[in-house]
Structure 1
């Protein structure tokens, strides 16, 4: 994707997800620090920190599981080229009490199957999460289907970015998990053909 289109997509994703956070009155959101080519881009963490009172970011453990820390405005280099928060560690179970989770992905299928980077970190984390799990995607990364392994964990929804500046990014619910009824007023479901 050309840089100008990536910037448009990232900006539309940040705007759409920030609106979802506000519409859901989320008090605690768990997210991630995007790698350079991942949706959301460099501005994602700062925008989320402005939209939610408490933003948790992951810390990669040697086991490939994720610990969590409250984002305090600073990041430090972590393993595998990742950036990590510098605050006190809250433990792997910190995500049990969140209101919403933003999960990284390379692609997602309509049934919620998520293609990640291959380390399995989020397949370890997602069973602990009862809040809706949403992924940001660039256009072309929401697919009809993806191969899945028995250990793969599904996500509840995706926000697909816009690269034209004329349309807006919006939420598509997948068939990946049950969503409390009040969430259905935010975005479309996979059953709507979204």
Structure 2
């Protein structure tokens, strides 16, 4: 999955990143989420340079992750500034809010390499997001590039399932999974690209 991402033409990635950022902002508006937890794209991660600015314009509070020494995540509110963290990652410069700050989010947007209809998410292997998922009751959505929503993925016992995925093409396609129950009604605007919607 990583090699396919690296081989993606720059113009196609930019178009997908723009579509994903727009879709993510629209999801925030539809969900009515005052606090959103998201990620800062690194390298060829979906959303690119457009994701954080798009979310910052629609979320009252935008929480971004800080990678800890044990690969767990702390959180800080985005105030428009970044600092450099472990492995050269861009991290929010604001005060640390603790590992459980994600529990206050109304929507959580995650990175990933692939998602299946069962809600299985393939991450980068560090387990950071599998650790935070049990701490939130929010709708959890992974942003993906085209072709990364797959019919089946292997799952480990520690893997946490997600509610949905957004694939970025020139426009974005939202897929709802069987990974969690959706008690919110706002998601009905987005029928899965697989169900004829």
Q: Same fold (TM over 0.5)?
A: yes
Listed as ranges, the matches of 1:105-144 within 5 Å are: 105-144=112-151
Distance, in Å, in 1 between the alignment partners of 2:165 and 2:194 is 14
Structure 1 segments of 4+ aligned residues over 2 angstroms from their partners: 189-194
Of 9, 34, 38, 1:31 maps to: 38
Query: Structure 1 stretches of 5 or more lacking a match?
Result: none
Question: Alpha-carbon deviations, 1:125-152, whole Å to 9, x = none?
Answer: 0001100000111101000011010000
Which structure 2 residues correspond to residues 10-49 of structure 1 after superposition, within 5 A? 10-49=17-56
Write out aligned runs for 1:89-168 (5 A): 89-162=96-169, 165=170, 168=171
Output the CA distance in 2 between the equivalents of 1:181 and 1:89: 30
Which structure 2 segments of 5+ residues have no match? 1-7
Looking at structure 1, the residues matched to 146 and 20 of structure 2 have their Cα atoms a distance apart, in angstroms, of 11
TM-score (norm 1): 0.93
Distance 1:171 1:147 in 2: 22
1:170 to 2:177 alignment: no
More deviation in 172-181 or 148-157?
A: 172-181
Aligned partners of 2:94, 2:153: CA distance in 1, in Å? 36
Count of residues in Structure 1 that have an aligned counterpart in Structure 2 = 190
Give the secondary-structure state (helix, strand or coil) at the position aligned to 1:143. coil
Separation of aligned partners in 2, 1:177 and 1:193 = 21
Shift of 1:43: 1.7
| Counterpart among 58, 65, 84 of residue 77 in structure 1 | 84
TM-score (norm 2): 0.92
SS of the residue aligned with 1:57?
A: strand
Hey, what does 1:58 align to over in structure 2? 65
Q: Is the 1:134–1:156 Cα contact (8 Å) retained in structure 2?
A: yes
Kindly state the Cα deviation for residue 191 of structure 1 after the two structures are TM-superposed: 7.8
Deviations, residues 72-114 of structure 1 (Å, cap 9, x unaligned): 0011111022111111111111111111000110111111111
